[in-house]
């Protein structure tokens, strides 16, 4: 049998996945009352709430494994931007609806492959979370796919904006697959995302092709989200997300 | 479906949504929504009407495809049924001990 996982590395891993879900949930929540249709408002809010549920499980687990007495709220509300471990893709601004859909397609396709692999983790909490979340994410991916097909293969205007959406998010996709090597004791516990890339590419490129869109060229790439390096947009997002908790510590309603 | 650029909600047709709460029950009408096509109508129905676990199956039907009786025809349609008590199975006694009628 493999060795017991290193607690520090396990906590950091759960925190990274939890932060991805938390920050994207917050971003999607910004659409509430602003979506193009009432029906779409509810759809985006549902996706945000699925992600928030994943974030709560992952952050609570990260806090428990860390063993320093921090709970999910401490981790969500009392860290500064440099302590967040999410990939930069999830923190970029919503842009127009096409940017949001492009971001959701590439991220959900990534999460789908990630959670599918994580279902076989030796860690029961991570495997359990992944087994439940993969069904949610399959729907998120389908929702973004349906919109990509309709807007890409739609009118001249919708196609141009959908293409612009993918052009904007594409540089942030490389970071999703940066290799993770937490050491021998973590093998079979965490998922190295690098080998997930071919399946992700196959799915995303097939959707882009069917939607008559071009696969964007990579002119630059983001890096460093997992090390606490973020865009200027994360600070603004955190200010809005955290201000109530920080102004009124421990407030409930 | 309209192909006009700059389309608005007015271009999206209305759909009636029917949800089956669990196996063995019939689908019931739960409301309506707007969607650009059938596939999106089904997804919107899932998000709007089953997000608290209300259903195991959804039907969506274009509202335009529903043929409804008109209020003007209320009397010819329904009035003749009001005084035909003999159409109700109330003129015989259920034998004692018959539990599964």
Q: How would residue B96 be classed by pLDDT, with cut points 50, 70 and 90?
A: confident
CATH assignment at residue B40: 3.10.20.520
Assess if residue A97 is contained within a domain: yes
Which of A37, A43, A146 faces B9 most closely, judged by CB atoms? A37
Mean pLDDT of chain B: 85
How high is the pLDDT of residue B2?
41
Nearest CA in chain B to A50: B51
Could you identify the residue written with the tokens 């025809």?
A: B73
Assess if residue A239 is contained within a domain: yes
| pLDDT tens digit at each of 253 positions of chain A | 456 678 999 999 999 999 999 999 999 999 999 998 899 999 999 999 999 999 999 999 999 999 999 999 999 999 999 999 999 999 999 999 999 999 999 999 999 999 999 999 999 999 999 999 999 999 999 999 999 999 999 999 999 999 999 999 999 999 999 998 778 889 899 999 999 999 999 999 999 999 999 999 999 999 999 999 999 999 999 999 999 999 998 788 7
Assess if residue A253 is contained within a domain: no
How high is the pLDDT of residue B1?
41
Number of domains chain A is built from = 1
Which of A39, A139, A155 faces B35 most closely, judged by CB atoms? A39
Chain A residues with CB under 8 Å of a chain B CB are: 37-40, 42-43, 46, 139, 142-143, 146, 150, 155-157
CA A65 to CA A170: how far, in whole Å? Answer: 34
Distance from CA of A130 to the nearest CA of B (A): 20
Percent pLDDT > 70 in chain B is: 89
Kind of pairing between the strands at B28-34 and B57-62: unpaired
Q: Directed axis angle between helix A124-152 and helix A156-169, to 10°?
A: 150
Nearest CA in chain A to B44: A39
Assess if residue B28 is contained within a domain: yes
For an interface test with A, the pick among B30, B41, B44 (most A C-beta atoms closer than 10 Å) comes out as: B44
Q: Is the dihedral of CA B13, B16, B17, B23 positive or negative?
A: negative
Could you identify the residue written with the tokens 């993770």?
A: A180
Number of domains chain B is built from = 1
Task: Measure the CA dihedral A203/A211/A24/A38, to 10°.
Answer: -130
pTM of the shown model:
0.89
CA A160 to CA A95: how far, in whole Å? Answer: 14
Instruction: Name residues whose C-beta falls within 8 Å of residue B96's C-beta, 6 or more positions apart in sequence.
Output: none
- CB-CB neighbors (< 8 A) of A150 in chain B: 36-37, 40
Average pLDDT (B3-31) is 81
How high is the pLDDT of residue B92?
77
Assess if residue B90 is contained within a domain: no
Assess if residue A76 is contained within a domain: yes
- Is B5 in Cβ contact with A156 (below 8 Å)? yes
CA A186 to CA A148: how far, in whole Å? Answer: 37
CA A26 to CA A99: how far, in whole Å? Answer: 16
Respond yes or no on whether ipTM tops 0.85. Answer: no
How high is the pLDDT of residue A136?
97
Q: What is the DSSP string of chain B?
A: ----TT--GGGSPEEEEEEE-STTSPPEEEEEEE-SSHHHHHHHHHHHHSTTS--SEEEEEEGGG-----GGGHHHHHGGGTT-GGGSS-SSPPPTT----
| Closest alpha carbon to A61 in A117, A114, A15, A6 | A15
Indicate if the pLDDT at residue B11 is higher than 90: no
Average pLDDT (B66-85) is 84
Assess if residue A56 is contained within a domain: yes
Assess if residue A206 is contained within a domain: yes
Q: Is residue B46 packed enough to be buried (19+ CB in 10 Å), middle (13-18) or exposed (0-12)?
A: buried
CA A117 to CA A194: how far, in whole Å? Answer: 12
Q: Which two tokens stand for residue A6?
A: 């290193």
Could you identify the residue written with the tokens 């069904």?
A: A135
Distance from CA of B24 to the nearest CA of A (A): 25
Which of A39, A150, A155 faces B47 most closely, judged by CB atoms? A39
Assess if residue A52 is contained within a domain: yes
- pLDDT tens for each residue of A27-40: 999 999 999 889 99
Assess if residue A1 is contained within a domain: no
More confident residue, B99 or A238: A238
CATH assignment at residue A104: 1.20.1260.10
How high is the pLDDT of residue B5?
45
User: What is the domain extent for residue B30?
Assistant: 10-71
How high is the pLDDT of residue B24?
87
């Amino acid at each position: 049998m493999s060795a017991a996982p290193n607690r520090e590395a396990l906590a950091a891993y759960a925190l990274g996945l939890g932060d991805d879900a938390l920050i994207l949930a917050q971003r999607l929540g910004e659409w509430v009352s602003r979506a193009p249709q009432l029906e779409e408002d509810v759809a985006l809010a549902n996706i945000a709430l699925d992600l928030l549920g994943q974030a709560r499980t992952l952050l609570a687990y990260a806090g428990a494994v860390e063993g320093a007495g921090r709970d999910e709220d401490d981790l969500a509300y009392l860290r500064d931007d440099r302590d967040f471990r999410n990939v930069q893709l999830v923190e970029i601004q919503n842009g127009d609806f096409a940017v949001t859909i492009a971001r959701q397609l590439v991220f959900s396709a990534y999460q789908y492959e990630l959670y599918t692999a994580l279902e076989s983790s030796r860690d029961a909490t991570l495997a359990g979370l992944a087994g439940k979340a993969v069904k949610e994410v399959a729907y998120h991916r389908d929702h973004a796919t349906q919109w990509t097909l309709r807007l890409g293969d739609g009118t001249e205007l919708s196609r141009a904006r959908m293409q612009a959406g993918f052009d904007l998010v594409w540089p942030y996709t490389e970071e999703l697959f940066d290799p993770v090597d937490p050491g021998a004791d973590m093998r079979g516990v965490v998922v190295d995302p690098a080998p997930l890339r071919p399946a992700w590419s196959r799915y995303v490129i097939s959707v882009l092709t069917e939607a008559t869109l071009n696969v964007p060229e990579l002119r630059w790439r983001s890096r460093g989200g997992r090390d606490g390096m973020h865009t200027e947009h994360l600070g603004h997002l955190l200010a809005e997300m955290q201000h109530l908790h920080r102004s009124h510590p421990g407030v409930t309603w | 479906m309209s192909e006009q650029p700059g389309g608005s909600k007015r271009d999206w047709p209305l759909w009636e949504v029917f949800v089956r709460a669990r196996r063995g029950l019939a689908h019931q009408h739960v409301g309506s929504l707007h969607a650009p096509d059938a596939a999106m109508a089904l997804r919107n129905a899932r998000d709007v009407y089953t997000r608290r676990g209300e259903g195991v199956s959804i039907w969506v039907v274009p509202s335009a495809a529903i043929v409804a009786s008109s209020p003007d025809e209320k009397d010819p349609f329904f009035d003749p049924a009001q005084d035909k008590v003999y159409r109700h199975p109330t003129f015989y006694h259920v034998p004692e001990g018959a539990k599964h009628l």
